[in-house]
Amino acid sequence: MDNAGWHAQRRADKERARYATPQRDANGRYRPVTLTMPINDQFGGGFDARVHPPTPPPREYIQQYIESQRNGRPRQISQVSEPPISANTSISSSRLTHMSAVERSQAFRVARMEPYLQLMVGPLLRYDTIDDQGVWHGFVLIVTSDSGSVYEPHPMLGYRWDPDGPITNRPPSVQNGSLFALGPHPARPQSMGGMPSPTNSHVTGFPGPNSQQEQVPGHEIWVYGGNGGSCTFWRFMIQIPLGSTEMQILYSINHGQELEFCVPGRNQNMRWAAHSCNGFSAGVNPDDFRGPGFKSGYDPLWTDLLAKHAETPFHALVGGGDQLYCDSLLREPEMQEWVHMKPEERKTAPLTEEISFAIDRFFFNHYCNSFRNGAFARANSSMYALLILLLDRYQPDLF
């Protein structure tokens, strides 16, 4: 009776029993157990700018404002070339009261996508190859809800880099004797310190005289159609000539928040991390592995990896087998009749149109929800992945 596997099986049986008698709605459709709604803001990649503390304006901005007041002249926005905001700059409330509403808005504004894209998941990064000319090739993938997005013009990805610029100074993995703080994040909502906002993680002195930037359009590669409408898969291609040393690449979609990743120097070996079995089997309670302050059982592991990435950035993230555990497919209402068949009957049961629709619906929602949440989403948007395919059951070259 103390066998851990026996208890896990009992827990799984109870979970299945909850969905043993599914009910149809007025339209004859079952309500799915696994259903993912669009992200109701303009921030992806595991970051949510709504919970970031206000970032103060740069010192140069404040100094020019003070001088303009001393000279009796209002500050002219057009006269100031505003540098990236420093996450280490502080500003007193008394200074804020002497700034105009327009100035405060410009100083604290968070970049948002324009035109607006309603994200289902992403951005997700994938490394492809380095060609004979030393050009690094990779891709960025996002999935958007068509009903809430604007595709005129088509989505665009902008990226920039400085071959002479250093990698951003990064905080140590331990702060004040506690676990590394990722900063405000759904996985650790009470954490308000540590890594700066992605919109402010800039290379010091960027851009330099040799800096470069590119804009690439998104290519529509797949459409998922479900009860609630359709969702589009967009892929962006990135090409970066490697320099003599590793570089930090800053990228954004539709002029939104800026995220970052690193590429190695031309003659440098990649630093990479590997993972597999990123999930929990049926009957296992993920909360048992969550730990204090974390939203899910996945986050302690991925937070630890991101802490090491912040100290010395990885260039690639290699995913092995069992990226997702999909046992919960058997909870879907359309599957209940098959689940309760005898083993021999299951082998010859026909794949009905209703069951096929339910399987597609489950995998789309399950993959989107898993790849967009918590610290795992941050890793997907800041380290280029190998061997991780989103919805590979639909089309192997989606990603």
pLDDT of residue 81: 34
pLDDT of residue 176: 33
Return d(Cα 217, Cα 152) in angstroms, integer: 12
What percent of the chain is modeled with pLDDT above 90?
36
End-to-end CA distance of the chain: 46
Closest CA to 201 of 167, 174, 175: 167
Provide mean pLDDT across the span 20-34. 69
Give the pairing type, strands 316-319 and 384-386: parallel
pLDDT of residue 303: 84
Closest CA to 309 of 195, 193, 386: 195
Does residue 132 register a pLDDT over 90? yes
Give the pairing type, strands 259-263 and 247-253: antiparallel
Cα Rg, the chain, nearest whole Å: 24
Q: Which of helix, strand or coil describes residue 130?
A: strand
What pLDDT, in 10s, does the model give residues 241-265? Answer: 999 999 999 999 999 888 999 999 9
Q: Which of helix, strand or coil describes residue 370?
A: helix
pLDDT of residue 291: 75
In the structure, what pLDDT confidence band is assigned to residue 54 with cuts at 50, 70 and 90? Answer: very low
Does residue 227 register a pLDDT over 60? yes
Cis peptide bond upstream of 115, omega within 30: yes
CA torsion through residues 162, 163, 168, 173, sign: positive
Q: Would you give the distance in Å from CA 176 to the centre of its chain? A: 27
pLDDT top residue among 79 and 299: 299
Does residue 74 register a pLDDT over 50? no
β-partners of residue 208 are none
Window from 70-79, 97-106, 144-153, 389-398 with minimum mean pLDDT:
389-398
In the structure, what pLDDT confidence band is assigned to residue 157 with cuts at 50, 70 and 90? Answer: very high
Q: Are 226 and 356 in contact (CB under 8 A)?
A: no
CA dihedral 256, 396, 296, 293 (to 10 degrees): -40
CB within 8 Å of 239: residues ≥ 6 apart = 135, 136, 137, 214
Closest CA to 178 of 266, 50, 299, 307: 307
pLDDT of residue 93: 73
Window from 35-49, 140-154, 245-259, 304-318 with minimum mean pLDDT:
35-49
Q: What is the DSSP string of 202-253?
A: --TT-S-TT-EEEEEE-EEEEEEEETTEEEEEEEEEEEEE--SS-EEEEEEE
Q: In 3-state terms, the chain is what percent helix, strand and coil (to 5)?
A: 30, 20, 50
Return d(Cα 301, Cα 310) in angstroms, integer: 14
pLDDT of residue 198: 38
pLDDT of residue 89: 42
- Residue at token pair 């804009």: 215
Closest CA to 135 of 261, 237, 234: 237
Does residue 173 register a pLDDT over 50? no
pLDDT top residue among 63 and 110: 110
What pLDDT, in 10s, does the model give residues 91-130? Answer: 567 777 888 888 777 777 767 889 999 999 999 999 999 9
pLDDT of residue 83: 35
Return d(Cα 347, Cα 109) in angstroms, integer: 58
Closest CA to 371 of 112, 123, 41: 123
For 359, how many CA atoms within 13 A lie in the half-sphere containing its CB?
10
